[in-house]
Amino acid sequence: MKKLILLLYLIIFTSCEKDPLLNHDYEFIIDGRTYKDSNGYYHLTIDPLENQQTLHRFGAYVTKEDKWGIPTQVIWDCNDVWSIDVWGNTMYVPIINYTSYADPQVDSIYSMLAPIGSMIGDTILVKGKAVFEEGEIILEDSFQIIFE
């Protein structure tokens, strides 16, 4: 009986491993990549022509892959779109790319923002969710940007 208890004890306590998720310190810090004021708002000067897009690349410092070697995915969201009339129908055009993957060489990730001139004076919110461990760990960050 003592041998059986000892065997069970050894099996239980030697088969327990430390949770590998606790050993990872994933990072996700967004950078609007333009002037940032003392209130934390980014500012972007855009083309004043009403329907002319201004392309702006923003990004984040992010751990480039998870413990399985899977590239980090960031899902982006924005609270604004612009509209255009096409043959009498209104189409809504997103001003942001909705997903991107980390650069395999460096801990960085980028996306594009494309506001139009009629958005001068608008302040938008851009949110990002970095996905690690096949979706089990999600880090979030956001920024606001004023179009000038």
Over residues 49-65, the pLDDT tens digits come to: 999 999 999 999 999 99
Write b or e for each residue in 18-34: b if 16 or more Cβ atoms lie within 10 A of its Cβ, otherwise e.
Answer: eeeeeeeebebebebbe
Closest to 30 in 3D by CA, of 148, 144, 143, 145: 143
Range 104-128 average pLDDT: 96
Predicted TM-score (pTM) of the model is: 0.81
Mean pLDDT of the chain: 88
Range 68-89 average pLDDT: 93
For residue 145, what are its two tokens?
Answer: 């940007």
**Residue extents of the structural domains in the chain:** 20-147
pLDDT over 90 (residue 10): no
Percent with pLDDT over 70 in the chain = 84
pLDDT over 50 (residue 28): yes
pLDDT over 80 (residue 27): yes
Tell me how far the alpha carbon of residue 51 is from its chain's centroid: 27
Helix (H) or strand (E) holding 125: strand 123-132
Report the topology of domain 20-147: Immunoglobulin-like (2.60.40)
Range 74-91 average pLDDT: 94
**For the chain, counts of helices (H) and of strands (E):** 1, 10
Q: Which residues pair with 137 in a beta bridge?
A: 132
pLDDT at 1: 59
Percent with pLDDT over 90 in the chain = 71
